[in-house]
Amino acid sequence: MPTFQHSFLRGFLTARLTDIKVDAHVAAVVADNLVESCLKGHDSHGVTMLPRYIAAINEGGLDPHAEARVILDAGALLSFNGGGGFGQVVGRQAMAAGIARAAQYGVAVVGMADAHHLGRIGAWAEQAAAAGLVSIHFANVNSRSPVMPWQGREPRLGTNPFCVGIPAAHQDHPLILDFATSIIAGNKARLAWNAGQELAPGCVVNDQGQPAVDPRWLMTEPFGALLPFGQHKGSGLSVVCSLLGAALTGGMTERHDNRDKQRILNSMLSILIDPAKLGGASNYPQEIAGMMAWVRSSRDDAAVLLPGDAEHEKYQQRLAAGIYIDDVSWRQLAALENSPRALKA
Strands, E assignment, the chain: 3-4, 69-74, 77-81, 107-116, 134-142, 161-166, 175-180, 204-205, 211-212, 225-226, 265-273, 323-324
Residue 343: the pLDDT is: 46
218 vs 205: CA distance, rounded Å = 9
Amino acid at 18: T
CATH architecture of 1-59+327-345: Orthogonal Bundle (1.10)
The Cα–Cα gap between 344 and 88 comes to 22
pLDDT at site 344: 45
For 205, the 3-state DSSP assignment is strand
- The third-level CATH classification (topology) of the domain covering 62-182+231-291 is Ribosomal Protein S8; Chain: A, domain 1 (3.30.1370)
Q: Which of the listed CATH numbers 3.40.50.300, 3.30.930.10, 3.10.20.30, 3.30.60.50 matches domain 184-227? A: 3.30.60.50
Number of H helices and E strands in the chain, helices first, is: 10, 12
Q: Are the C-beta atoms of 189 and 177 separated by less than 8 Å?
A: no
| Residue 71 vs residues 49, 88, 141, 186: alpha-carbon distances, Å | 29, 19, 21, 31
What is residue 258's predicted lDDT score, i.e. its pLDDT? 73
Q: Can you give the pLDDT at residue 1? A: 61
* Backbone phi, psi, residue 6, to 5°: -60, -35
The model carries a pTM of 0.96
Mean pLDDT by 10 residues, the chain (345 residues): 93 97 98 98 97 96 97 98 98 98 98 98 98 98 95 96 96 97 95 95 97 96 97 98 98 86 95 92 90 96 95 97 96 88 48
- Enumerate residues 6+ apart whose C-beta is below 8 A from 178: 120, 121, 122, 125, 161, 162, 163, 164, 307
Any idea where the domains of the chain sit in the sequence?
1-59+327-345, 62-182+231-291, 184-227
